[in-house]
Amino acid sequence: MIRELGPPDLCHIVKIHSSNRTEPDIGSYHHVLGVDTSSSASLAAYINSLQYSLNDKPGWFGPGNNWKIASGTYCTYNAFSKLDLRVQIKIPGGVDAYAINVQGERQDVTEELWTECHVSGILRAILYSNPAEYSVTGLRRLTLAANLREEARVVEALMEQFWNGWRLGSNAETQVASHSRNYLVDGLMAYFAGQGRYNDCAGEILSPLAYAPLGGRQQQADSRSSLDFKGIDPNVAALLAEAYMGGDQEVQGVRVMHQALKAKPSCYPMLYTQAEFLRLKKQHKAACKIALMAVKYAPSEFHAWAKLTEVYIDDNDFQNALLTLNTCPMYTYVDRDYPRVPTPRRINYPVKSEVLEEYNLGDNFTNGNYGSVPMNPRPSADSDAPGAAEEQTQNETSFILRLAAPTLKGTFAHAYKLLSNIVSTIGWDELLQLRSTVFVMEEEYRNS
């Protein structure tokens, strides 16, 4: 069951020997991020590009291979419509594109599905870009936008589907997806924030979207009057204010916050943004008042309670900070989608020749092996290195191994971080004394 953006794209190809017809066909697959999935032609072009990479030195089967691609299938997930789009290519031959729904039924692919599929692929390439956070065997990461023209196409696609972003859902710390809290917004902000281009994001994307209610796409998508917002959408304006402040344009950000709060004083995302701005300015009393309003209007949202806890910590009001942290709504963590495929017989890692010349990568990448390694290699009996079980036994006395922090995710990890901030400020003994003052523990209640 796919719950979020879906796994990386899957590309399966069948290779045949060009000179020896008795040689059996070989099938191989790999996962990929960053491919243009806007049409069947672009996916066919990607599989066709793999044919040329067979002749690279070193290639998939070492130097001087005589293999060529006979056919291929490219599978990509449409996170908006919950469909799997597949493109089958025969070389030479035709291209067959179709969609598979959750019931396993085949249906035709429309232009709208291709657009949604393109945006889904863009967001996966952005949000799965960190190998430390998302790692899959045989995953190939391509550059999403190699030049300004490609970046313009990416931005245009994201803007076109912006008002449908809530359909994608949200991260583990958000209860209800909205126009300002969803995966599309996370990907958009991560792309520009990672490059420090807050002003570009604010001026070229968020500003037109924030003032779009006067005849923009939002009115068509939500079927609501533009008079409800008085010329500005407060939810998107919260993102616009964050971008302005990230780009050191605080005056412009404050102006946007003022306009948005006049239009809708109960807008939770804007109240959250304003509370964070006041907290960074050391205006703790004003920030506390705004954060309390955010909790009032969004009592089920973890971010509102967490921001109020941060304000109390900065104001040295640790008693209320502990009470607020204990009141935070906690959500069940849903991990990212990972592909489920059969275990491969072998894994091949082709490495560019210039890398082999400059670096020593070991025996697996020399003598014609080029990274082709069998699955589940057995350790040598003569090895003096301790195994995982022996190393575990040696470190059993370490308290660090028993800490729960590394296993916490989502709201639980965020709450643990806030609790750690309290401990680092007042110390462990003071925290225990504060806990005894604020709470009555279950064991103490029984003994009493």
* pLDDT tens profile 187-239: 999 999 988 899 999 988 999 988 865 434 444 444 333 334 557 889 999 99
In the block, which residue shows the tokens 């010329």? Answer: 231
Average pLDDT over residues 285-306: 94
Asked whether residue 379 carries a pLDDT value surpassing 50, the answer given is: no
What pLDDT score does 114 carry?
A: 94
Q: Where are the alpha helices (H) located in 194-233, listed in sequence order?
A: 198-201, 207-210, 217-222
Q: Which of 60, 67, 104 minimizes the C-alpha distance to 86?
A: 104
Asked whether residue 255 carries a pLDDT value surpassing 90, the answer given is: yes
Query: Distance between CA atoms of 178 and 170, rounded to whole angstroms?
Result: 8
Packing angle between helix 234-246 and helix 268-280, nearest 10 degrees?
20
Counting residues of the chain whose pLDDT is more than 90, the rounded percentage is 45
Average pLDDT over residues 24-43: 89
Which contiguous run of DSSP H or E holds residue 17?
A: strand 9-17
Residue of 255 and 137 predicted with greater confidence: 255
Q: How confident is residue 320, by pLDDT bands cut at 50, 70 and 90?
A: very high
Residue of 348 and 197 predicted with greater confidence: 197
Which contiguous run of DSSP H or E holds residue 352?
A: none
Residue 399 in tokens: 């308290």
Q: Which of 274, 265, 282 minimizes the C-alpha distance to 304?
A: 274
Q: How confident is residue 391, by pLDDT bands cut at 50, 70 and 90?
A: low
Which contiguous run of DSSP H or E holds residue 428?
A: helix 428-438
Average pLDDT over residues 3-19: 86
What pLDDT score does 20 carry?
A: 72
**How confident is the model over 81-139, as pLDDT tens digits?**
999 999 998 887 788 999 998 888 899 999 999 999 999 999 999 999 988 888 888 88
Average pLDDT over residues 317-331: 91
